[in-house]
């Protein structure tokens, strides 16, 4: 990207293609969600996975490693693992995260998805990350078989 202004997002739009080519990477760190009400107390940007400004009186939600949250004396919740979905989904793709969240929900697993410019990331409960990876692999395999059957 050069210059400024609106650009066409380069990601994939086809839900079938996104699901059939889905692979995932599990990150080793444990992450947490925290809220910072005094912005002067925000950890350095390099320590944050996500920063989202809530309503004025609520503060700024951050996702960071549990280690960094504790080092910055932040109260935190939802110890979790981050899974990066290794497909370049378009920000305009319809239904991708819904299919994944619905599949995980069918196993009684909550997920906090975050869409970034190139990839989507899932924050899943600590201790259920291997199960989430298995479920994602099964979903992708199911969609690959569906794609093969429909093209045959």
What CATH number corresponds to the domain at position 38? 3.30.2130.10
Closest CA to 50 of 39, 38, 34, 37: 34
Model pTM? 0.90
Asked whether 8 and 50 are in contact (CB, 8 A), the reply is no
Helix, strand, or coil here: 64? strand
The answer to the question of residue 7 being in a domain is: no
Residue 1 lies in a domain: no
pLDDT for 3: 66
- Section 40-60 average pLDDT: 93
Range of the domain at 121: 15-151
In a domain, 45, yes or no: yes
Residue 9 domain flag: no
| C-alpha–C-alpha distance, residues 86 and 74, integer Å | 31
**Cβ(123)–Cβ(50) under 8 Å?**
no
71 occurs within a structural domain: yes
Indicate whether 31 belongs to any domain.
yes
Q: How many domains does the chain have?
A: 1
For a pLDDT cut of 90, what percent of the chain falls above it? 73
C-alpha 147/C-alpha 87 separation (Å) is: 17
Residue 4 lies in a domain: no
């Amino acid at each position: 990207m050069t210059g400024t202004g609106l650009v066409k997002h380069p990601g994939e739009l086809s839900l079938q293609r996104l699901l059939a080519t889905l692979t995932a990477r599990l990150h080793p760190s444990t992450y947490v969600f925290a809220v910072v009400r005094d912005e002067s107390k925000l950890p350095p940007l390099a320590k944050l996975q996500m920063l989202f400004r809530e309503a004025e009186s609520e503060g700024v939600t951050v996702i960071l490693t549990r280690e960094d949250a504790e080092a910055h004396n932040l109260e935190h919740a939802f110890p979790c693992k981050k899974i990066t979905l290794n497909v370049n989904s378009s920000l305009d793709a319809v239904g991708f995260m819904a299919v994944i969240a619905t599949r995980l929900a069918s196993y009684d697993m909550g997920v906090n998805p975050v869409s970034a410019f190139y990839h989507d990331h899932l924050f899943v409960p600590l201790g259920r990350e291997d199960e989430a990876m298995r479920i994602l692999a099964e979903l992708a395999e199911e969609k690959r078989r569906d794609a093969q059957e429909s093209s045959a």
